[in-house]
Amino acid sequence: MATQLVNKFLGALFRCRPVSLTGAEQLLLDTHSLKTFLLSMPSVESSISTKPPTVYTNGVVKTMTKAEMILKMVMSETNSAEDFVSAYSRLLPESDSSELQKVLEMKAIRRQEQTSIIQLYRTQIEGHSPATSNLNSGFVCRFQLFLFIHSFIYLFIN
């Protein structure tokens, strides 16, 4: 159940675009709060404090850390395409060019610049040869995620 929630959360996160720096910072805080809640969820309303199974903990930590790294990339500078691609591959080593494109769309990077960054990523990371901010929207995105989390908690409690 937590895995499904986290995957839906990642999907909702990718639908947030464009995301301002302030919006990404707040989403990062919200993501950390959700991660903390999910890690404590197995013992909610339990009379005995038990440690959740390692498989559960590792799954939550891995997927929520991915969400945190995505948001850190949204917050990062794109002055140099090489530096951005290097940081992206370091923070998200299991990612691919389609996720990179979603991150660039969240950052509101122009299509032309997206194309050059994605080509660089494909060449350097995937091994392919190259082929011939807005605070209001951040608020809307946070509100959508808030409603999503709220409905999940409501379903979990009832």
Domain region containing 128: 2-157
Structural domain tally of the chain?
Answer: 1
| CATH code of the domain covering residue 40 | 1.10.357.110
Mean per-residue pLDDT over the chain, rounded: 84
Which pLDDT belongs to residue 132? 40
Stronger pLDDT, 143 or 122, i.e. the higher one: 122
Rg of the chain in Å (alpha carbons) = 17
Q: Is the pLDDT assigned to residue 70 strictly greater than 60?
A: yes
Which pLDDT belongs to residue 136? 46
The pairs formed by 117-124 with CB atoms below 8 angstroms and a separation of 24 or more are 117/78, 117/81, 117/84, 117/85, 120/81, 120/82, 120/85, 121/85, 121/88, 121/89, 121/97, 122/97, 124/85, 124/89
Stronger pLDDT, 13 or 140, i.e. the higher one: 13
CB atoms within 10 A of CB 48: 5
Percent of the chain with pLDDT over 90: 59
Most confident of 50-54, 130-134, 152-156: 50-54
Instruction: Name which of 44-53, 59-68, 116-125, 126-135 the model is least confident about.
Output: 126-135
pTM, two decimals, is 0.76
Q: Is the pLDDT assigned to residue 134 strictly greater than 50?
A: no
Which residues are within 8 A (CB) of 112 and not within 5 positions of it... i.e. 6 or more apart? none
Q: What is the 3-state secondary structure (H, E, C) of 97-141?
A: HHHHHHHHHHCCCCHHHHHHHHHHHHHHHHCCCCCCCCHHHHHHH
Stronger pLDDT, 153 or 91, i.e. the higher one: 91
